[in-house]
Amino acid sequence: DSGVTQTPKHLITATGQRVTLRCSPRSGDLSVYWYQQSLDQGLQFLIHYYNGEERAKGNILERFSAQQFPDLHSELNLSSLELGDSALYFCASSAGTGGGTEAFFGQGTRLTVV
Amino acid sequence: AQSVTQPDIHITVSEGASLELRCNYSYGATPYLFWYVQSPGQGLQLLLKYFSGDTLVQGIKGFEAEFKRSQSSFNLRKPSVHWSDAAEYFCAVALLSGGGADGLTFGKGTHLIIQP
């Protein structure tokens, strides 16, 4: 158990809909990263938040957004969903922002868009 | 931009045999290097990491990796594999500078199959 909790574990929704994925980081970790894992693109970094502030964006679509709340949990919002958004979405947390800081991954949310 | 290449999509190894998974990176300087393992239905677990110093690093579950600057490689090894090692293995890099705020860049992964 990494200490990172993601909910829900599975989500099935229709095209055009909006969903919210939730991540609770390890106790004390200030950084939250979101990643998308799909068969064609592999694991891709989406966005990084540190202590409530956005620190970096990766290959995140404009239809996607995220935020980190004062209690440090984070939410990833996916809107106007398309079939191609079906993927496993991972959250990872770390104590800091340094490149060498070990990131701990949750078990992911599997999103299926039908 | 940095990139990570794992040339082997699938590798099959007999139980008890040695293992080497290849990883090459492309980056102007020495990045932070990682190996993660993903079991079916699970998240990613860190096996080991390299930042600097001794180029041979030891990790969990009996894994080790060697950083070779001249070859831009960071290959993962294990002297004797167990059936429980069957999983997907990912090599990843993070920026040495810039605080790593950009997250990790992952290779496409190598699927390890263990034959009895």
B39-60 tens-digit pLDDT: 988 889 999 999 888 899 999 9
Q: How far is B14 from chain A (nearest CA, A)?
A: 26
Write down the pLDDT at residue B65: 98
Contacting residues of A for B103, CB less than 8 Å apart = 33, 35, 45, 48, 56, 58
Question: pLDDT grade, residue B100 (50/70/90)?
Answer: low
Return the SS3 of A83.
helix
Taking alpha carbons only, the member of B106, B101, B7 closest to residue A37 is B106
Burial B8-27 (b: 16+ CB within 10 A, else e): eeeeebeeeeebebbbbbeb
Interface of B with A in 44-63 (CB under 8 A): 44-46, 49, 51
Using CB atoms and an 8 Å cut-off, which of residues 25-44 of chain A contact chain B? 33, 35, 42-44
Query: Within an 8 Å CB–CB cutoff, is residue B102 touching chain A?
Result: yes
Per residue in B4-26, pLDDT (tens digit) is: 999 999 999 999 999 999 999 98
Question: What pLDDT was estimated at residue A88?
Answer: 96
The pLDDT confidence band at residue A30, using thresholds 50, 70 and 90, is very high
Q: How far apart are alpha carbons A20 and A14 in whole angstroms? A: 14
- pLDDT (tens digit per residue) in A64-95: 999 999 999 999 999 999 999 999 999 999 98
